[in-house]
Amino acid sequence: MWDDAFPSFLIGLREGLEGGLIVSILVATLVRAGAKSRLPQVWTGVLAAIALAMSFGAVLTFTAASLSATAQEAFGGALSVVAVAFVTAMVFWMRRSARSLSGEIRDKVTDALTMGAGMLVVTSFLAVGREGLETALFLWTTARAADESTGPLTGAGIGLVLAAGLCWGLYRRVLKINLTRFFTATGAVLIVIAAGVLGYGLRDLQEGGVLPGKASYAVDLSGSVDAGSWYSTLVQGVFNLTPTMTWLQVVAYVGYLAVVMSLFVRGVRAPVARPAAREPRQPAQAGASVRCRPAWMVPVAVVAVPAVLAGFVVAFGDAKPAAAQTVAVSETQCGKGFTAPEPGRRTFQMHNTGDKTSEVYLVDPATNAVYGEIEGLAPGTTRDLVATVTGGTYAWRCVPTGGNAVTSRAVWVTGAGGGARAVVPVSEKDLAAPLKSYKTYVDQGLATLVGQTRRLSDDFDGGHLGKARTDWLTAHRTYASLGAAYGTFEDFDQKIDGRPDGLPGGVHDKDFTGFHRIEYGLWHGQNASELKAPAKQLAADAAGLRNAFPTQEFDPGDLPLRAHEILENTLQFELTGDADQGSGTELATADANLTGTRELLTVLRPLLATRAPVLLTTVDADIARLQQLFDSAHHGADWTPVDQLGRATRSRLNGVVGQLLEDLAPVPDLLEIRKSA
């Protein structure tokens, strides 16, 4: 997460220190002027500035959420460019003003003291507000670049807390920091980060159709650079440099960095003239005429106005909840109240007016593609369905429990297409052929397993422990390649491949059987006679599973789940070493699990190819990277134990598996059996 957090940490630290210094100088000036009674006015202005920054962030977030996917790209790209402009101006301004900041603010406070409470509130508000707006905009752009990562907010929070501590130390004169050097060093780093944000923003503008050159790539290292490696993640998170970049991105990145960094370095070397000292103004005398107004009016007004304005934008913008259509659902009437919505992100309130629980789908009636769904909408209840609407035809399909599907009248939405993500539903019939192929694969594997476990049992009968270790691994890899995840083989899986976790006697429990029981004995000094019985039991269980498998129930809808769950088990047990009972062959098992996953994707490929061709390309690349890592740990008949992998290698392995799992995550949803089909 730190790769996503660092840019936001730096902006939080720098902007927080800048804003904190301003507040410290304001407070110190009032204290030295003997005007402590005016401190609440300063804090009112600071609070108002914070409220304005948070409101600004809320407006950006809700505004973007109400746009179509293409418009979101253009909106985010434009704001990224604006954020780069703000950060660039801030870097140069602070480099120029760091030495004279204290004197300038003292003069403004002195002027404000002579003009009454309102001006002091406004002075502190303006002094801190600019920093808040810049921070909100830059954090929004970095958070958007990090997708769903919590890194940017975490980094910003740490930076702001650290900045607050530094400002307190400076105010109390506990710390001494050369602010000119600090802002110069951080400014140089921020210029590099801003160059990456500029490239990212321009890419968004290309994706949004605002700028040309979307497919004109200057750099395409996706085939040779491991996107899941630690170094690739670090470079992408901190600098927003990706393995694939267009010509516009590269030219903008290099041009911005060359021009802005040159000007910045030149400005650092140039001498800075110290401003002439000004005669300090005296604050207003106690007897001077000051216009009176209620003490609560200014604080309340200044704090409330930005929050109210933000609430107004959110409430009456495109994302307002009040605009949600209420659509009736029942076994006789489906879609009552549905009218053609405006394009964009829309919320529909689905109310079940019937007496049966229903599945509800927003579909394209021509193709049956599903744009959104609600499962199990109970009678008398209302739930929100959120979907992105673009140009096209839309209708509601209601499928009551035990009843027939009812489809509403279709409506036509005028607008650009391509922004909404629709899923063509899958039926049990569609999954019948893949399921048959997979069952054939498993049945053949079980036949092989039966022979291998019998051979393993014979090894113990003959007292050949060395051969037994080799045959044990061969048979265990065969079983691991069959995709025994989450109860695929019912009770047989626990008998054949169960772990001692949770058993009262642990590895010595009578119910600890199967491959791991034999593994424990082979690598913990047990002799052949002690392992004869567990081996015969394993061979019998393998034969029992083969006989029972043709009659075992296998829900076709579970088949897409296995594509994700097999490697999920691998990450949880094999790659942590939790399943190891002494052989150190966890990576051999993980490699076999990858074989089972590959087989599942092979039988599901015809269905995925028409629904997510890009996903298949990405997953194939992930599998190739993972296979290379497994191959590098395989040396003849030996495998490197997980606990002997280097830290970097183990981190990379976990990262690649995690990335593959993330890319496989949409498969169950894409191939879910929907009753609307």
pLDDT digits over 219-262, tens only?
766 556 555 455 655 566 556 677 778 888 889 989 998 998 88
pLDDT band at 65, cuts 50/70/90? Answer: low
* pLDDT confidence of residue 526: 95
Distance CA 42, CA 52 (A): 15
Higher pLDDT, 24 or 285: 24
Helix or strand (DSSP H, E) at 49: helix 39-65
Cα four-point dihedral sign 180, 181, 186, 190: positive
pLDDT at 117 over 70: no
* pLDDT confidence of residue 49: 72
Copy the structure tokens of residue 284.
Answer: 């207003």
Counts of helices then strands in the chain (DSSP H, E): 20, 13
Share of the chain above pLDDT 90, in %: 28
Copy the structure tokens of residue 409.
Answer: 């009248």
Q: Give the pLDDT confidence of 308-363 residue by residue, as tens digits.
A: 544 554 444 444 433 578 899 988 889 988 998 888 878 898 999 988 888 899 98
Copy the structure tokens of residue 524.
Answer: 């913990």
Helix (H, G, I), strand (E, B) or coil at 384: strand
Q: Which residues contact 636 (CB under 8 A, 6 or more apart)?
A: none
* pLDDT confidence of residue 282: 46
Distance CA 53, CA 41 (A): 19
C-alpha R_g of the chain: 33
Distance CA 611, CA 594 (A): 23
Distance CA 272, CA 269 (A): 9
* pLDDT confidence of residue 293: 46
Q: What is the mean pLDDT of the chain?
A: 77
Distance CA 156, CA 6 (A): 8
Under 8 Å between Cβ of 247 and 219: no
Helix or strand (DSSP H, E) at 494: helix 492-497
Q: Give the pLDDT confidence of 5-42 residue by residue, as tens digits.
A: 565 666 666 666 666 666 666 666 666 666 677 677 76
Q: Which residues contact 185 (CB under 8 A, 6 or more apart)?
A: none
Distance CA 669, CA 563 (A): 12
pLDDT at 372 over 80: yes
Cα four-point dihedral sign 537, 538, 543, 544: positive
Distance CA 184, CA 264 (A): 9
* pLDDT confidence of residue 237: 54
* pLDDT confidence of residue 223: 53
Q: What DSSP assignment string belongs to 465-528? A: HHHHHHHHHHHHHHHHTT---SSTTTTHHHHHH--STT-TTGGG-TT--SHHHHHHHHTTT--H
Higher pLDDT, 284 or 158: 158
Copy the structure tokens of residue 212.
Answer: 């040309």
Q: Nearest Cα to 87, choosing from 130, 118, 49?
A: 130
Question: Whats the size of the chain, residue-wise?
Answer: 677
Count Cα neighbours of 53 within 13 Å in the Cβ-side half-sphere: 25
Copy the structure tokens of residue 644.
Answer: 């002997």
Higher pLDDT, 192 or 36: 192
pLDDT at 103 over 80: no
Under 8 Å between Cβ of 52 and 129: yes
- Residues facing residue 370 across a β-bridge: 363, 423
Distance CA 472, CA 555 (A): 31
Distance CA 326, CA 383 (A): 10
Count Cα neighbours of 36 within 13 Å in the Cβ-side half-sphere: 2
pLDDT band at 289, cuts 50/70/90? Answer: very low
From first CA to last CA, the distance across the chain in angstroms is 41
Q: Angle at CA 416, nearest 5°, toward 412 and 418? A: 100
Angle between helices 117-145 and 69-97 (to 10 degrees): 130
pLDDT at 494 over 50: yes
Copy the structure tokens of residue 2.
Answer: 């730190």
Copy the structure tokens of residue 491.
Answer: 């009770």
Residue at token pair 């691991």: 480
* Range with the largest mean pLDDT of 42-51, 150-159, 201-210, 374-383: 374-383
Strands (E), 237-315: 244-246
* pLDDT confidence of residue 279: 46
Pairing of β 325-329 and β 344-352? parallel
Q: Give the pLDDT confidence of 596-646 residue by residue, as tens digits.
A: 999 999 999 999 998 888 889 999 999 999 999 999 999 988 999 999 998
Q: Give the pLDDT confidence of 560-569 residue by residue, as tens digits.
A: 988 888 998 8
Residue at token pair 């109390």: 172
* pLDDT confidence of residue 171: 61
Q: Give the pLDDT confidence of 406-461 residue by residue, as tens digits.
A: 899 999 988 765 555 677 888 888 999 999 999 999 999 999 999 999 999 999 99
Q: Nearest Cα to 466, choosing from 641, 639, 590, 637?
A: 637
Q: Give the pLDDT confidence of 532-589 residue by residue, as tens digits.
A: 999 999 999 999 999 999 888 888 888 898 888 899 889 888 998 889 999 999 999 9
Copy the structure tokens of residue 546.
Answer: 């083969």
Under 8 Å between Cβ of 86 and 134: yes
* pLDDT confidence of residue 469: 96
Q: Nearest Cα to 79, choosing from 152, 13, 149, 143?
A: 143
Helix or strand (DSSP H, E) at 349: strand 344-352
Helix or strand (DSSP H, E) at 219: strand 217-220
Copy the structure tokens of residue 77.
Answer: 């790209």
Q: Beta-carbon neighbour count of residue 645 at 10 Å? A: 18
